[in-house]
Amino acid sequence: MAAVPTDDRLFRAMFEGTLDALLLADDDGTYIEANEAAGELLGCSSDELVGQSIADFLSADVDFEAAWNAFLEKGHARGQLEIRRPDGTVRTVEFAASAVILPGIHLSALRDVTDRETDRLELRRKTDMLTKVFETSPVGIVVVEADGQIVDANQRAETVLGLTRAEITDRTYDDDRWRLLSEDGTTLRTPELPVSTAIERGEPVFDAELGIETPIGDTVWLSVNAAPIHDVDGAVDRIVAVVSDVTDRREYRRLLEQQNERLEEYSATVSHDLRSPLSIASGWLDVAIEEESTESLDKVRDALDRMGNLITDLRALGRYGQTVDDMVELELRALAEAAWANVETTDATLEIDGGLGAINGDESRILQLFENLFRNAVDHAGPNVTVRLGALGDGFYVEDDGPGIPAANREEVFDFGYSTLERGTGIGLAIVEAVADAHGWEFDLTDADPHGARFEFRPRWHPDRDG
């Protein structure tokens, strides 16, 4: 059996063999012995360390004497400090010191934690950066645990969802209190939700669109991206869901689709409706040439006038159907009176309710809307018609006391080219529809009381959400 080392031999083996820097100091803090690891840490040989103290490696603003006396009085010390080696490099070290391990001898153990501290500071920097991104992001961010519990939400998510952070984190992502809709307006089931898909598949889900009913009753349309975060075993630990409000984008897309449909109808209307008066004009012009008839030329003029009216209406339709970008506050009474003056109203009467206020919009387009509605009333309800303009909540209505429009015809009256008048272009009410769409208004055609046609206009977007 091997002999057990003496205490001195055992201490020497441990002192020299450890990977940590070990130093022995006297009562003044001067090193009397250091191991090889201490020399490597402090940037000199262990022999060169003898006769020095830790003060030789500290910045001048450190009060070594006070710290050393406090250590001797307490009997031990532990902490972290920066040392500067002879070559000028700076290292961060952790230390632990024990006083009087032998009479007049004190032990210090040092460990280089520079890389660990650098990593810690870098981690803190990245964490702070991610926190700033999370809080200032222009899109909503929601963090969901694998069990479905929402654990965090940023400020933008509060705005989009219409709830406080506490209210959001009080729910699971599939809580019954969420009113979630698919793109066709039906209620979404839990397996259809983007977060469900990300949890089940362990893969990101991109650009899923869904609707959510807010606490104030509005439906907000969201684009959702959901990405899983995996634990060390590869299982889904959390889901980060990013939500963007695309309500306006969907509305613009709807308007763009309508405008594209309108362009197609444009083409059909132009080719069809211009061909007819052009053929008439050409035929009567031939008759006029052959018979030298001025009556035939009058019919040519009528056909050309109809072509001119049609072209004017088509240009107006294209111009007024574009989305309104810059709106101003307009007094409806003043606009209606100006429009009435521009229409041949013969013995017709315009009545305006006293409670009619202002509305935001484009002046020329709303003026055209009123002109077309007034002209439509006079043309279809007769020269003695009474037209009324009044307030309707945050919108307005225009109605007449004529025969009205049968329910079966109320959709087609807005179609291009639809007219019950021989000389009508069939575009007047299509312009009304285009102006309403361009302003983001909802409009309805219904019956006036006791009879007549009534056109109702209301803002489509809620003022609390769209400012």
Q: Model confidence over 428-463: pLDDT tens digits? A: 788 888 888 888 888 888 888 888 999 999 987 544
- Burial environment of residue 46 by CB neighbours within 10 A (0 to 12, 13 to 18, 19 or more): buried
**pLDDT tens by residue, 126-152:** 989 988 988 999 999 999 999 999 999
Residue 358 has pLDDT above 50, yes or no: yes
Residue 42 has what pLDDT?
Answer: 94
CA atoms within 13 A on the CB side of 109: 11
On whether the CB atoms of residues 272 and 417 are closer than 8 A, the answer is yes
Residues 236 and 145: their CA atoms lie apart, in Å, by: 9
Cβ neighbours of 289 (radius 10 Å): 11
- Overall pTM > 0.75: no
- Domains defined for the chain, CATH in brackets: 7-113 (3.30.450.20), 137-245 (3.30.450.20), 252-466 (3.30.565.10)
Nearest 5°: the CA angle 130, 134, 135 is: 120
User: Is 309's pLDDT higher than 90?
Assistant: no
Tokens describing residue 331: 């007094």
Whether pLDDT at 284 is above 80: no
Contacts 24+ apart (CB under 8 A), 89-92: 89/43, 91/41, 92/117
Query: Under a CB-based contact definition with an 8 Å cutoff, are residues 58 and 84 in contact?
Result: yes
Least confident of 73-82, 90-99, 443-452: 443-452
| Residue 343 structure tokens | 């229409």
Q: Which two three-digit tokens encode residue 16?
A: 């020299």
Instruction: Record the tokens describing residue 335, joined without a space.
Output: 């606009």
| Residue 356 burial (10 A CB sphere; 0-12, 13-18, 19+) | middle
